[in-house]
A and B are shown apart, each in its own frame.
Chain A
Amino acid sequence: SPFPSGRYKPPATETNPALEDPTPDYMNLLGMVFSMCGLMLKLKWCAWIAVYCSFISFANSRSSEDTKQMMSSFMLSISAVVMSYLQTPQPMSPPW
């Protein structure tokens, strides 16, 4: 074609981190905090919330997101749940 074709340039959000959606990062952090709470304070509900957080972080993740980070947060939350149940096999009691 006679007209020069410019190459693809990634949209502004990739170059300017301030414009990116912060949800996956927040959820990741929250997930890790809840995992640690669940493991150390032996609170089952903390561990379950951590699992949910890591799922939500995964669903909202950007393409440039590191899968290692995602997997590690997921594994941490699963291990928090498993450890809580190994230590105290009784079922979780509702907060009400």
Chain B
Amino acid sequence: MKNFYIFIAVLFIPWSFSLAKYDEFEDGDDIMEYDDNDFAEFEDVSEDTVTESPQRVITTEDDEEEATIELEGHDENQEDFDDTDTQEGDTESEPYDDEEFEGYEEKPDTSHSKNKDPITIVNVPAHLQNSWESYYMEILMVTGLLAYIMNYIIGKNKNNRLAHAWFNTHRELLESNFALVGDDGTSKEATSTGKLNQENEHIYNLWCSGRVCCEGMLIQLKFLKRQDLLNVLARMMRPASDQVQIKVTMNDEDMDTYVFAVGTRKALVRLQKEMQDLSEFCSDKPKSGAKYGLPDSLAILSEMGEVTEGMMDAKMIHFLTHYADKIDSVQFSDQFSGPKLMQEEGQLTKLPETKKTLLFTFNVPGSGNTSPKDMESLLPLMSMVIYSIDKAKKFRLNREGKQKADKNRARVEENFLKLTHVQRQEAAQSRREEKKRAEKERIMNEEDPEKQRRLEEAALRREQKKLEKKQMKMKQIKVKAM
């Protein structure tokens, strides 16, 4: 019961607040006075007549009292009359004579003004106004959208300019080395388009083919997403560079079997984790290349020492030291199959397809604030790529190296088969069960009882045969064991 009263009391509070608000707006006092006036005006007249006579009768004995009574009485009357005057017009201008009141002083004005309520100006809430200023959030939103669109146009154009700056510088070298420069795969015949293939606003492709030893070369200009404002803002926190990725697919007969990588330590650590071939064949951590005169920023991942020795010739070292700041990673691999595929359990029944590949990843200098000149400065690296293609063709492992390489590859394959043996067995088992179930269903669905019986008998005979075979096998094994 107590709680109920408290609850009611609590309910009264907001209700009373709401009432109080109304008071502000409606000047309740005035209204009440006005209401009183409706009836008071008649009372006042009688009061006046009543007070008149005592004033006349009593003279100076109770002057003060009279005066005060007079004043009070007059004040009230004056107020009421003033209110009626203001609210009813001039219908009752002077219902009383000035001479009737003696000792009347000019006081009512001050008290009058004191009692009158001050006019309060209430602020109209924003959502009731209808001026443009109140829509500032909307204007902000539209401005944001316009900024986004502007950034899209500017970013897109910048990427475009950078791509074409790169291509114009590299065109000559590419055209002298490759018969086919630029192909988007859509035309029927293999003809050079001589143009970059724009994949989207930040990736441009170029396919080059028709050179000795390599099947083809795919160049990808992977720019930063300058056309996306969110990306631009994110890059202010974490700077990143544009990248140029070059993937050369070698002919089978033009490259020996080895896995080798050189690049920044950070990149190699990441690649060793991500790439299928590097993780399987290069088990050691990235080693320093100081032995060959490489700067400290670069490290080496290799399948075996002989490969490193063979790869690090004078010209290669020259390239790597001079352009170390632009090199992210260089990977030569005969077992290249891309990054490790995240496959579910039980799906990995076959080794991924491999291709002999040379993969180069270069960082464009400028770390985001790239200019066309920065793109042009990558030209020597293309020479390095061409040199590497020829090098990969020339480099052959000696007998020992070849044996080791073959052993490595066999080992990897065996491991893979072991891993998947269980899965393959399960797959075979489930297939057999499926077949059995399908047969049983067929038998059940057979309406003709004769046919049913015949099918059942056939199935039984087959089962018996299988059992016999198994028993024979077991016997043979037992005999052999003995």
| Residues on A facing B (Cβ under 8 Å) | 1, 3-12, 16, 18-19, 48, 51-52, 55-56, 59-63, 90-94
The size of the chain B interface, using a CB distance under 8 A, is 46
Asked whether B218 is an interface residue with its Cβ less than 8 Å from the other chain, the reply is yes
Asked whether B184 is an interface residue with its Cβ less than 8 Å from the other chain, the reply is yes
Given A91-B134, A92-B138, do A8 and B184 touch, yes or no (CB 8 Å)?
A: yes
Q: Which of B102-110, B225-233, B278-286, B287-295 is near enough to bind chain A?
A: B225-233
Would you call B145 and A4 a contact (CB within 8 A)? no
Would you call B144 and A91 a contact (CB within 8 A)? no
For B144, list chain A residues within 8 Å (CB).
Answer: 52
A2 and B437 alpha carbons, distance in the complex (Å): 59
Given A5-B209, A91-B126, A91-B138, do A62 and B199 touch, yes or no (CB 8 Å)?
A: yes
For window 172-220 of chain B, which residues contact chain A by CB distance below 8 Å?
A: 179-180, 183-185, 190, 197-201, 205, 207, 209-212, 215-216, 218, 220
Would you call B216 and A9 a contact (CB within 8 A)? yes
Contact of B190 among A5, A10, A11 (CB under 8 A): A5
For A8, list chain B residues within 8 Å (CB).
Answer: 183-185, 197, 207, 216, 218
For B128, list chain A residues within 8 Å (CB).
Answer: 90
For window 297-329 of chain B, which residues contact chain A by CB distance below 8 Å?
A: none
| Closest beta carbon of chain A to B390's beta carbon, Å | 14
Known: A7-B185, A59-B225. 19 other contacts (CB 8 A): A5-B179, A6-B210, A7-B209, A8-B183, A8-B197, A8-B207, A11-B220, A16-B338, A16-B341, A18-B341, A18-B342, A60-B228, A62-B199, A63-B200, A91-B135, A91-B137, A92-B137, A92-B138, A93-B126
A18 and B126 alpha carbons, distance in the complex (Å): 50
Chain B: interface secondary structure?
Answer: mixed
Contact of A93 among B127, B141, B183 (CB under 8 A): B127
For B201, list chain A residues within 8 Å (CB).
Answer: 59
Chain A: interface secondary structure?
Answer: loop
| Residues on B facing A (Cβ under 8 Å) | 126-128, 134-138, 141, 144-145, 148-149, 152, 179-180, 183-185, 190, 197-201, 205, 207, 209-212, 215-216, 218, 220, 225, 227-230, 247, 249, 338-339, 341-342
Chain B residue nearest to A48 in the complex (CB): B141
